[in-house]
Amino acid sequence: MKITSNTEWYHRAFNQRYLELYSHRDEKELAQLFFTLVHFKLFPTDGKVLDAACGAGRWLRYLIRNGVDAIGFDLSSELLKECSDLPVVQADMRSLPFEDQTFISVHSLFSSFGYFVDAEEDMRQIREFVRVLKKDGWILFDTIPDRFLYELPPDNTYQFSDGVIASIHRETKQNIIYKTVQLDNGEMWEERLRVYTPIELDQMFQKYGCCLLWRLGNYDGSSYNANYSPRMISCYVRTT
Ligand SMILES: C[S@@+](CC[C@H](N)C(=O)[O-])C[C@H]1O[C@@H](n2cnc3c(N)ncnc32)[C@H](O)[C@@H]1O
């Protein structure tokens, strides 16, 4: 695997401040997603589920609380500390510490894709997810719609609970969204997200023997619409 240094943005950006910044991602959307899976008869009762890049374990905790046999992994030791009571391991998504065909299902929630400088490494991530998935297993892949490349939210500020103020700026270059977070205490980090069209994503998964089962536009199960859906949630099945 190509060596990436610990200076890559994703080694630094996912910390306590990230958790506070995104604390509005609440249990309601998890419950909606859970019932959407039940609706599609994909409630995972038989076999092990992998919560990929589980962060602080919000979805993993939800799955386990509802009787699912699940494990999570993430790169961030700071976020993993928040869920040390759950079955989690520290790992990079391009090189997973699991045997081939271990899981009945792999869930990748809330834009945990498109992080790497080299797009080949995004492919490597998909290849790893498919490798650890059983044949006929399915991958839940939650990304942002590609129109967000052109519909960036305006710059904004956010005040953390300790009074520190963040100024947040986003810009697009080609198919990558760069988000800069500048704190008034001098700290600063950048996040970058390569955004894929639905067709590009389908082709990437097809390359590794997966085909699209369905695509939703939000956790509540609404259909995907390229013009207004807030999310792009794709479900792929491993067919080979
Ligand atoms: C946007 S967060 C989503 C977290 C979680 N899935 C959720 O829904 O709350 C992205 C996650 O990807 C993790 N991550 C970033 N780069 C990673 C890598 N190379 N390998 C594994 N995890 C990584 C981050 O630490 C972070 O927890």
pLDDT of residue 98: 98
CATH number at residue 121: 3.40.50.150
Atom 23 (ligand 1) nearest CA: 75
* 110 CB near ligand 1 (under 6 Å): yes
pLDDT of residue 6: 67
Atom 26 (ligand 1) nearest CA: 55
| Residue 171 counted as domain residue | no
Question: How do the pLDDT tens digits run along the chain, 240 residues long?
Answer: 343 456 799 998 898 999 998 887 778 999 999 999 999 888 777 899 999 999 999 999 999 999 999 999 999 999 999 999 999 999 999 999 999 999 999 999 999 999 999 999 999 999 999 999 999 999 999 999 999 999 998 999 999 999 999 999 999 999 999 999 999 999 999 999 999 999 999 999 999 999 999 999 999 999 999 999 999 999 999 999
Ligand 1 centre to CA of 209 (Å) is 24
Maximum pairwise Cα distance, the chain? 53
| Residue 173 counted as domain residue | no
Ligand 1 centre to CA of 143 (Å) is 12
* 10 CB near ligand 1 (under 6 Å): yes
Atom 27 (ligand 1) nearest CA: 55
* 104 CB near ligand 1 (under 6 Å): no
| Residue 214 counted as domain residue | yes
| Residue 75 counted as domain residue | yes
pLDDT of residue 2: 40
pTM for the complete prediction?
0.95
* 60 CB near ligand 1 (under 6 Å): no
Ligand 1 centre to CA of 54 (Å) is 6
Range of the domain at 140: 9-145+197-238
Per the structure, the count of domains in the chain is: 1
| Residue 125 counted as domain residue | yes
Ligand 1 centre to CA of 83 (Å) is 14
| Residue 103 counted as domain residue | yes
* 143 CB near ligand 1 (under 6 Å): no
Task: Give the integer Cα–Cα distance in Å for 34 and 232.
Answer: 16
| Residue 179 counted as domain residue | no
